[in-house]
Structure 1
Amino acid sequence: MIVFTLIMLYPLAWMVGSSLKESSSVFIDAHKIIPDVFRFENYIEGWKGFGGITFSTFFMNSFVIVIISTIGSVLSSTFIAFGFARINFVGKKLWFVCMMLTMMLPYEMVMIPQYIMFNGFGWIDTYLPLILPTFFGAPFFIFLIMQFIRTIPTELDQAAKIDGCGTFGIFFRIICPLVVPAMMTAAIFSFYWRWDDFMGPLLYLTTPAKYPVSLALKLFSDPNSVTNWGAMFAMSTISLIPIFIIFFIFQRYIVDGISTSGLKS
């Protein structure tokens, strides 16, 4: 495990080390993780951004996209999962199969139809194509939360009905508090995936001031000029900080959400 851990951590260590090197020596001394001279100016230069747009703007854009889309994805997926797990309706199995089939579609297959549709809506160069679809549920999260809900005894629902709870009351008062671990797991995965998303912003955003961090990092690489590799790796290193913070704060929910039942002793 130690050997595999070192292998997986090597690219991360190399990136951090490269963020402190002279741009011209990043690939010349690629075999060295620890630079001969530490150049902390890379972080200052990188944070200045491009065309008067600093990386504080790019980070703010990322947080807006990630936080809103994560909230929408988790809430809508939980609501849909409750419907599949607890409510009987016509065509339930058919709709569930259709939902599962969407997990098998590669993004490249739906990329062009989605772009044509969003372009027809006039949503290009806005955050709507990146945020609004998340409010209609994510198949993986729906399946994860639905399996979690199925571990909760239906006797709790029946007891709530006797006390006068309706369907929405059962959902908000009984189900939601018990599926918090699964919801947090979905939130963590959603945060990771949205933060790292590059293709979506590349397709739909055309104004640099609206770029998230994942797309702004691409601006460092310019075929027509000298690329400031040190500054690029410096901003790449900083972009990992929110990911590490989220993981270390909420890592226990990943295990709880996947391996535990819906009840706690």
Structure 2
Amino acid sequence: MSAEAAVTTRTKPPMRRVAMHLLLIALAIGMLYPLLWMLVSSLRENENIFTSAGLALTDATLDNYVRGWDAQQNSFAIYFRNSFIVTGSVILGNLIACSLTAFAFARMRFRLKALFMGVMLVTIMLPEHVTIVPQYILFSELGWLNTFLPLTVPKFFATDPFFIFLMVQFMRGIPRDIDEAASIDGCGPFQIYWRIMLPLVVPALATTAIFSFIWTWNDFFRPLVFLTDNDLFTVPLAIRLFVDLGGTDWGALFAMSVLSLVPIFVFFVFGQRYLIRGIATTGLK
């Protein structure tokens, strides 16, 4: 066989690989289709939204966005502001509390550490709906209902074990020689955490921030339970207000749904590099 023929044989993609790529492309299209259809529908007139399942757009209009922005009791700017306040507070709480807790589990020695770690891991399997009733009673006694406090304050007490576990695994992959060298130089535990550990676990922190943003921004259940004042509604609750048994303005609903996805898309695009690094290196030593 000539050298040219050998190179052609090696570079020619196998049919199996081509078939796998075609399958993945088909699956990607199937997953993106509902999102694309919602985007197209947000640019259609109400009477034309459900006339076709295709993505062809011949009567594009921005009226749905203009009408939907002020369709509820408050402008959607208020609902976006509320969501950003809650989401930003949750991200800050998770970054501070979960990183401190993870540092204690990963780098410090104390009695019953293994037991506390096991209890923390067990809580990952505990459904949120199991704890919502006692939480509601507690927040009611504190007078926190119909405020942002039930949605934000618990995050400053490391109530998300998934993020603690994520950071613990990441910190365990960092050599302990760094801690010993810092201790010789006179650094205490908090200085090691602040000056050495945090800069080294940036991918894990970014992963925590991204997931906290996505999960909190899309959260419908907890705001529905704790918030009753329309002025405090977050974006998911405001979108729910469009659904009316007497007649739903689907165009405005789809338009505001599209706008609600923009912050998630932007946050993910700018943080995906750290997200991939954080997930890929978690648990490796």
- What amino acid is aligned across from residue 257 of structure 1 in structure 2? G
Cα distance, 1:65 vs structure 2:
0.3
- Provide the aligned C-alpha RMSD in A: 1.5
- Report matched runs for 1:1-265 at 5 Å: 1-27=24-50, 29-51=51-73, 53-137=74-158, 138-223=160-245, 225-260=246-281
Deviations along 1:123-169, one digit per CA (max 9) or x if unpaired, are 11000010011111110000000000001110000000110100111
Matches of 1:128 and 1:43, distance apart in 2: 31
- What amino acid is aligned across from residue 78 of structure 1 in structure 2? S
- What amino acid is aligned across from residue 88 of structure 1 in structure 2? R
Cα distance, 1:41 vs structure 2:
0.3
Cα distance, 1:36 vs structure 2:
3.4
- Whether the aligned pair in 2 keeps the contact of 1:21 and 1:38 (CA below 8 Å) is yes
- Whether the aligned pair in 2 keeps the contact of 1:152 and 1:262 (CA below 8 Å) is no
Matches of 1:246 and 1:196, distance apart in 2: 13
Q: Secondary structure at the match of 1:26?
A: helix
Matches of 2:280 and 2:167, distance apart in 1: 12
Q: Secondary structure at the match of 1:240?
A: helix
**Closer, same or farther: CA 261–21 of 1 in aligned 2, 3 Å:** closer
Matches of 1:145 and 1:121, distance apart in 2: 32
- Whether the aligned pair in 1 keeps the contact of 2:79 and 2:238 (CA below 8 Å) is yes
Gaps of 5+ in 1: none
Deviations along 1:71-106, one digit per CA (max 9) or x if unpaired, are 111211000000000111111111111111110011
Gaps of 5+ in 2: 1-23
Matches of 2:139 and 2:47, distance apart in 1: 42
- What amino acid is aligned across from residue 129 of structure 2 in structure 1? E
* Superposed structure 1 runs of 4+ greater than 4 Å apart: none
Matches of 1:37 and 1:173, distance apart in 2: 57
Seq. identity, %: 47
Count of aligned positions: 260
TM-score (norm 1): 0.95
